[in-house]
Structure 1
């Protein structure tokens, strides 16, 4: 499935609907430190950190990518429940790794401390894990 990764800066009404659906499927811990999925999306759009995976004009997964001076941090990676296990999250991760490498920056995963899912992803991808 050809998933295209893009920065989301000017979302269409359909993009906003898709983003709401993506983060509606997120476990509560993944939204930390934001109060809600809406707050996460609003903050990410405001600071330009929102990236998403698109297939057939629909957003299927999203994450926050903060491009720091020392390192880049990927957080809040989530894929719609109906689309999971089809490579969308892996594509988002691979593209962020490629972009960080091209920029000469290390990529780090960021998640709330103590969550097994985040620790497992960090171990599988050999990326350092930072606490949010």
Structure 2
């Protein structure tokens, strides 16, 4: 069964629990400019920017997808620690890229410019890196 990618707009209590678990594993730098994971999740839901990967009815990874001009921006990409290295993040990136291209916009990855892991991810994904 593939990882299904969706915009999260009306989360169930299980979805909220899963999102909290996803961002509980996040390093502190990934949560910026938010004070904590709960604030990031709340802002993403309020603004309609929360984008997540679901497998077997559970959310395993999430990101914020800002649909803007002239480019779309993917930020705060995080996958649950127990699920990493299984393609969830890659599926989130692929689907965000597909949606952006379909709408006629390029996709940029937003992360701290000096973060080596973010630089490597941007290079592997062939995405421009924007400072977070």
User: Aligning the two structures, in what range does the TM-score lie when normalised by the shorter sequence?
Assistant: over 0.9
Q: Which residue of 2 aligns with 1:34?
A: 34
After superposition, the CA RMSD in angstroms is 0.7
Cα distance in 2 between the residues matched to 1:90 and 1:38: 24
Cα distance in 2 between the residues matched to 1:72 and 1:6: 16
Cα distance in 2 between the residues matched to 1:96 and 1:84: 18
Q: Structure 1: which 4+ aligned runs deviate by more than 2 Å?
A: none
Question: Gapped runs of 5+ residues in structure 2?
Answer: none
Cα distance in 2 between the residues matched to 1:130 and 1:21: 26
Cα distance in 1 between the residues matched to 2:41 and 2:49: 10
Question: What is the SS of the residue equivalent to 1:96?
Answer: helix
**Alignment: residue pair count:** 132
Cα distance in 1 between the residues matched to 2:112 and 2:98: 24
Question: Gapped runs of 5+ residues in structure 1?
Answer: none
Provide TM-score, normalisation by structure 1.
0.98
Are the equivalent residues in 2 in contact too, given 1:32–1:112 (CA < 8 A)? no
Are the equivalent residues in 1 in contact too, given 2:64–2:76 (CA < 8 A)? yes
Cα distance in 1 between the residues matched to 2:9 and 2:46: 8
Matching of residue 84 in structure 1 with residue 101 in structure 2:
no
Measure how far apart 1:69 and its partner are.
Answer: 2.2
Provide TM-score, normalisation by structure 2.
0.98
